[in-house]
Amino acid sequence: MKQKTGVIGTESVVLNSSVVDDSITIEVLDEEVLRKKERKKIAFGQVSFGALFIILWEVLTRIGILDSYYWSSPTTILQTGWVALTQGTLLIDLGYTSVATIIGFILGTFIGAGLGLSFWWSPFYSKIMEPYLVAFNSVPKLALAPVLVILLGIGFTSKVTLAFLMVVIVTALAAYSGVKAIDPDMEKLLYSLGAKKRQVFVKVVIPSSMPWIISSLKINIALALAGAIVGEFIASKYGVGRMILYAGQIMDTNLVWVGVVALSLLSIVMYLVTIYVEKFLSKGMNVNR
Amino acid sequence: MEGRYKLEILNNTKIFKKNGQEFIALENTSLQIPEGRFVSIIGPSGCGKSTLFNIIAGLIKPTKGQVLLDGKNIIGENGHVGYMLQKDLLLPWRTILENVVLGLEVKGGKKEENIAKALPLIHKYGLKGFENHFPNELSGGMRQRAALLRTVLYDAEIILLDEPFGALDAQTRLMMQNWLLNIWTDLKKTILFVTHDIDEAIYLSDDIYVLSPRPGRLKTKITVDLPRPRNEGTMLSREYIELKQKLLDLLKDENDQDHAI
């Protein structure tokens, strides 16, 4: 994305060329300065809204309008969180969930992209596979969680697999859309240069489909996280999902809230990292063509 | 006689089948092109120009006929000629330099060597300073130059240009025509040039082949004897005007026949 440079200073605009004396000078405001001010205002608004929300939550639970047994309160969550972090297993759980998510996300993205791109090789094969891909995409993968845990055990593998399944088909469909949008003349150009099919694949098909794959990353990281957590809900020794389930069973709502907040933060961090990766890739590939 | 012509297209016929119906895209067409000539092919749409180019480029095979390059059969073989379509087809994720070396890259040359070959051309032919720009940052004329340089750098002895300036405005077009003549004079390639534009054909060519449509076939060949180097003044000479009149009449016949059907 390119930033527009602001117009600085003044510009005189002659409205009526026959009567020069009537020319009007219009002051053009500095767009850059305006945008900075605007951005500051927005940032201030965003922070205040968050702060207001937390303060309101705290106050309402303190004065008893909200029952603190169910709703906990920001300060209690902080205290419980600190204890869980320093004396409990929160750090290990966070690590477990993150790693399961990231491995599932990466595997799902690469294998899904490979699957979608492979459809370019043979229209016959792609036409046979497409309905199955769409059908499998509409299967609620999370509903498979109990089977997967029975099949793969309560360990790490079942969490990664669930995260992977959440991602792989979505990515395959995205990559396939990219393949379908390739300009056939570009392929023709490469063939006219004497390119082999493999060269066309590497030099045209993959880069041409990249914007589609890249745009699926943001959705995929959230999907992978959901997969990992549900896997932990079903049966697990570690993970934030297991911690929440356990806290719920012993009616420790404060700890449930700690888990929810921890997951939210994890999800935000992963989202930001994904955006960064996306920007990096987009720039290298000149995606905003 | 072998070796007399750089490129010979002998009695090419191409028939496509669509829904069981046969459709003749090109009928018994022959072109014989000596080395280093600038040859234009002119004709209304449907005259089989693209089919002919696709055959020469080896992208499709003729139903009947031969295509000889230096006397050797090249039917169905791609990579012998440089081919440029009307769209510039620069790959948007590659910089201008990366686009220009694409043909060499496909051939398998070393990256540094390819770049060393490309840079002088880029500098000499008006793209200096744009090597690392992406295509979307360039104007239509500049993009067309890059696409042409890609074709030229591919180092084929024959270059096929399918209406390369069709999408440009009149002024840019004239500039690009002169630019192309420069390159042609410098590098001595054999050029086949498809166009709709009579002026463009006369201004650039040594020979003009006129094709007629439905089915596409060769109607006549006109030799342009205007002296070179040519410039804007050429277009005002008597010979030029006479040639233009002749071509206009030829193409007018074509249209009249067309309407009669």
Partners of residue B217 on adjacent β-strands = B212
Percentage with pLDDT > 70 across chain A: 90
Calculate how close chain A gets to B193, using CA atoms only, in Å. 16
Whether residues B98 and B60 fall in one domain: no
Question: B140: pLDDT confidence band, cut at 50, 70 and 90?
Answer: confident
> What was the pLDDT predicted at B255?
64
ipTM of the complex: 0.81
pLDDT in tens, B35-60: 889 999 998 777 788 888 889 988 88
Task: Tell me whether A204 touches chain B (CB under 8 Å).
Answer: yes
Test B106 with A189 for CB contact under 8 angstroms.
Answer: no
CA distance A98 to A238: 11
Test B78 with A194 for CB contact under 8 angstroms.
Answer: yes
Whether residues B48 and B162 fall in one domain: yes
- Which range has the top average pLDDT, A103-112, A211-220, B130-139, B227-236? A103-112
> What was the pLDDT predicted at A20?
47
Of B81, B85, B92, the CB nearest to A185: B85
| Residue ranges per structural domain of chain A | 10-66, 79-285
Residue B19: CB atoms within 10 A of its CB come to: 5
Nearest of B197, B190, B155 to residue B176 by alpha carbon: B197
Of A186, A287, A289, the CB nearest to B89: A186
> What was the pLDDT predicted at A288?
65
CA distance B260 to A184: 36
Rounded mean pLDDT of chain A? 88
Question: A210: pLDDT confidence band, cut at 50, 70 and 90?
Answer: very high
Percentage with pLDDT > 90 across chain A: 72
CA distance A138 to A129: 15
Of A192, A208, A289, the CB nearest to B78: A192
Nearest of B1, B18, B87, B28 to residue B211 by alpha carbon: B28
- Is a pLDDT exceeding 50 seen at residue A7? no
The CATH number of residue B36's host domain is 3.40.50.300
Nearest of B171, B173, B178 to residue B196 by alpha carbon: B173
E strands along chain A, which residues? 10-13, 24-27
Test A191 with B107 for CB contact under 8 angstroms.
Answer: no
Q: Domain range for residue B45?
A: 7-80+157-260
The CATH T-level fold of domain A79-285 is: MetI-like fold (1.10.3720)
Torsion, Cα B123 B128 B133 B138, to 10 degrees, reads -110
- Is a pLDDT exceeding 70 seen at residue A95? yes
Whether residues B149 and B192 fall in one domain: no
Buried-exposed string A214-241: b where 16+ CB fall within 10 A, e elsewhere = bebbeebbbbbbbbbbbbbbbbbebbbb
> What was the pLDDT predicted at A156?
93
Calculate how close chain B gets to A280, using CA atoms only, in Å. 14
pLDDT in tens, B164-190: 888 888 888 888 899 899 889 888 889
- The answer to whether residues A244 and A231 touch, using CB atoms and an 8 Å cutoff, is no
- Is a pLDDT exceeding 80 seen at residue B135? yes
pLDDT in tens, A224-246: 999 999 999 998 999 999 999 99
- The answer to whether residues B53 and B83 touch, using CB atoms and an 8 Å cutoff, is yes
Helices (H) and strands (E) in chain B, counts: 8, 10
Test A186 with B105 for CB contact under 8 angstroms.
Answer: no
Q: What is the mean pLDDT of residues A111-131?
A: 93
- The position carrying tokens 């047994």 is A69
Counting the structural domains of chain B, the total is 2
Whether residues B232 and B177 fall in one domain: yes
Whether residues B249 and B178 fall in one domain: yes
